[in-house]
Structure 1
Amino acid sequence: MSPHTPLNPKTSSYEFFGPPGAFAITIGVPVLAYVLYFTCNESSGGCPPPIQSLYPSLAQAVSDPAFWWKLWDPKAFSIYYSWYAFCLVAWAVLPGDWVQGTQLRNGKYQQYKINAFSTCLMALGLSTGYVLRFGVESFTFFYDHWVGFVSAALSMSFFQGILWYALSFQEGKLLALGGNSGNWIYDFYIGRELNPTVGSLDIKSFNELRPGMILWLLIDMSMACAQATRLGGRITDSMILVILFQGLYIMDGLYNEPAVFTTIDIISDGFGFMLAVGDLLWVPFVYSLQARYLVFQSRDLGYAWSAVILAVNLLGYYIFRTSNNEKNEFRNGRNPKNLEYMTTEQGSKLLTSGWWGVSRHPNYMGDLLMGLAWSLPTGFDTPLTYFYVIYFAVLLIHRQRRDDERCQNKYGKDWDRYQKLVPYRIIPYVY
């Protein structure tokens, strides 16, 4: 199949400011993951301003070649790649239903095996057994070898980005509409092939939920073990809240695995370095910043402050879960709440009541409230532990704009009418 055909047309517009932006993000995301460690670690003295705390590492990087070798840790690499292999084996051997995705442009359907939740339970069971057998000090290796794990995940991200970009040129591949520009820098980053598949394994959905999401939970568990090792076997209420909140979010995503198959990542985006580094590096090693911080900056919150933070998270989770349930039920032909909707000229139905009448992306509002609750247990000594909330707000606004643009092109005048019925994008009366 030639690069540009009616089925695989040439990409007509760029995102992220085109190839220069794609190149900058390809370099910038890994660098930022390292920066968040070197500016916020035990030796930095509690995450002081980034310029102040980053200077010693920058000076060493320039003057000492051994600095770069320390980024590559054989133990961390062996554990990380063994973990990835475990996820592959678990996908293959654990039972699970097969779910059909949305129809592709070529008229076919991608099939997905549902067993991410059982994979997580197995990983948690084995890890818990290991801790009970060898003690909490035996499970601190994620904290002790942090930089090495970041480098291992980065190497896997580049490997997969390069591999699936190269294989996308094979005959018969269905390409992503946004990743067939002909510019290799941009297409490598954004993702050229829509659904890379090995046998019956869908690579994109596998990486979306398993190696990174479950590892995030195991990292949080390791941070709790590291804190317990320092505090004589106990962990603080702040660490408990962070693990509880993030664990609930992770387990909810894994349990509701079919819901991911209706997201833009799965439906529209190709699988390239953008999704690979996001799934494999960014999610487990950036989203766990609060738990890592609490290892060397332990704090007890008390009942009152803990209750306030718990209420913020529960509110966010309630909005996130109930709004997603409304959307998924409606897309599957069910409407148990008798929600109002409008019908487009194409026959599509758009919800205009319930949570989806409050804003066009109420689930994003819930996401942001939960992200805030994850950061509040760290206190207010440093803004770095609130990086997730700020980053995620930018990410969700970008996703919302992408989705609005896609719907505008798809529905035309009907989308204009819909926006009058549901004027708020994410947060009512704010945005």
Structure 2
Amino acid sequence: MATVLNPRTTEYEFLGPIGALLISVSTPVAIYALYFGCSEVAGGCPSQISFESVLQALSSLEWWKGLWDTEATLIYLAWYAFCVISWAVLPGDVVEGTPLRTGKRLKYKLNAFSTLLLTVGLTTGWIMANGPESFTFIYHKWVGLVTAFLLLAFVEATYCYIGSFQQGKLLALGGNTGNVIYDWFIGRELNPSIGVFDIKTFNELRPGLILWLLIDMSMVCEQATRRGGFANVTDSMWLVLLFQGAYIVDSLYNEAALFTTMDVITDGFGFMLAFAIGFVPFTYSLQARYLVFHPVDLGYLGVIGVVLVNFVGYYIFRTANAEKNDFRNGQNPKNLKFMTTARGSKLLTSGWWGRSRHPNYLGDLLMGLAWCLTTGFETPITYYYIVFFTILLIHRQRRDDEACYKKYGADWVKYTKLVPYRIIPYVY
């Protein structure tokens, strides 16, 4: 019975165990490299990226110093504990997830947005009472906070991997290969939990996304401290806070949409997802950190241009997701066309979902481009996000297409002819 419910995984992703090991080692190194290669301690950001510039940065810095910071570790653990306590005590609706292979539906508590409001309220009150300089410690303890999150991610991934061998656990179909390194990385158990505390869905939004906003707020405070008050903070810094803050608010407000994503439905919880807890806030906030030591004034025309790019991206992102969510909930206010598969499932073939199979990804990319544009064009480092996110979304799209082909077969082939473009209409 256990073999039927939890069949052995026979196919690898990410080039198998070797790829999983390389990613597990290289991605933490990449976070440190983004800091030591683009920060005040490095003398700024290089105007171009080359192998020589990387070697020079590594040889000229005592980068290993400061990797461990006890105070930063305690701060990060306190932050994570605050998120857990907020999940436990704040009220919120309880919703059911999609049916599991066992037929069971897990229940999830929706109060991520309440946690965000509480966090922002407490932080804003602290800054108003004690001044912007009181909330600059994130900027100054950056490396120590990164190390703390990496240790926590390693501990969580290891705990969930070991716990997955307990009797009665439902495993992820893609994480039961029998290879320790690969299964630890990709996630062996589908829904690891401690009592009613679901580890995977909690980590997907709360500690990382809210911390991202706190980091941006800390960068604003650091720039305000250096420039003589909030009135002198640059327009580019305010735009980064506005754009990324709106994105974070939108994600947490629409928390229920998380439970229909591939991460929740099919992926286990391993180092790959545990790592995202800190990878998102500590790398996606690169623009804000750069603007602290390299202020950029965009001017009226620059602000208008960047705002327009972000608005178009957000409009596509939000309206596309709204079409999908309405259709999944049995509503079709726009009378969108669709095709019915042999399984009885319905696939949209008009509206945004008729223009491409992942129009929400297009909106994501345009918003990411706007965030990068706030930093100007003096260094390619600050455009890391749009490059990384493009690669990430293409990989996700290909994973999704492969899963849909296995699910729908010939119907998926027919659908791809009706909607030929993957992300960007007429381009890709």
Judge same fold: TM > 0.5, yes or no: yes
Are 1:420 and 2:398 counterparts?
A: no
Indicate the residue corresponding to 1:276 in structure 2.
274
For 1:6, what is the secondary structure of its paired residue?
helix
- Give the alignment of 1:18-417 within 5 angstroms: 18-48=16-46, 49-50=48-49, 51=51, 54-55=54-55, 58-59=58-59, 68=64, 70-233=66-229, 234-278=232-276, 280-417=277-414
For 2:240, what is the secondary structure of its paired residue?
helix
In 2: Cα distance, 1:53 partner to 1:124 partner: 39
Offset from partner CA, 1:34-59 (integer Å, 9 cap, x none): 00000000132321145455435533
For 2:125, what is the secondary structure of its paired residue?
helix
In 1: Cα distance, 2:145 partner to 2:328 partner: 39
> Tell me, which stretches of 5 or more residues in structure 2 are unaligned?
none
In 2: Cα distance, 1:242 partner to 1:102 partner: 35
Are the equivalent residues in 2 in contact too, given 1:187–1:272 (CA < 8 A)? yes
Are the equivalent residues in 1 in contact too, given 2:42–2:57 (CA < 8 A)? no
C-alpha deviation, 1:202, in angstroms: 1.2
In 1: Cα distance, 2:371 partner to 2:211 partner: 17
TM-score (norm 1): 0.96
TM-score (norm 2): 0.97
Are the equivalent residues in 1 in contact too, given 2:172–2:189 (CA < 8 A)? yes
> Tell me, which stretches of 5 or more residues in structure 1 are unaligned?
none
- The total of aligned residue pairs comes to 424
Offset from partner CA, 1:108-138 (integer Å, 9 cap, x none): 0111100000100100011111111111001
In 2: Cα distance, 1:228 partner to 1:52 partner: 35
Are the equivalent residues in 2 in contact too, given 1:44–1:53 (CA < 8 A)? no
C-alpha deviation, 1:172, in angstroms: 0.3
Offset from partner CA, 1:139-195 (integer Å, 9 cap, x none): 001100100011011011101010000000000000000000000000000000000
For 1:103, what is the secondary structure of its paired residue?
coil
Are the equivalent residues in 2 in contact too, given 1:38–1:53 (CA < 8 A)? no
For 2:106, what is the secondary structure of its paired residue?
strand
Q: Partner letter of residue 136 of structure 2?
A: T
In 2: Cα distance, 1:74 partner to 1:92 partner: 27
Q: Partner letter of residue 360 of structure 1?
A: R
In 2: Cα distance, 1:156 partner to 1:307 partner: 41
For 1:356, what is the secondary structure of its paired residue?
helix
In 1: Cα distance, 2:308 partner to 2:39 partner: 29
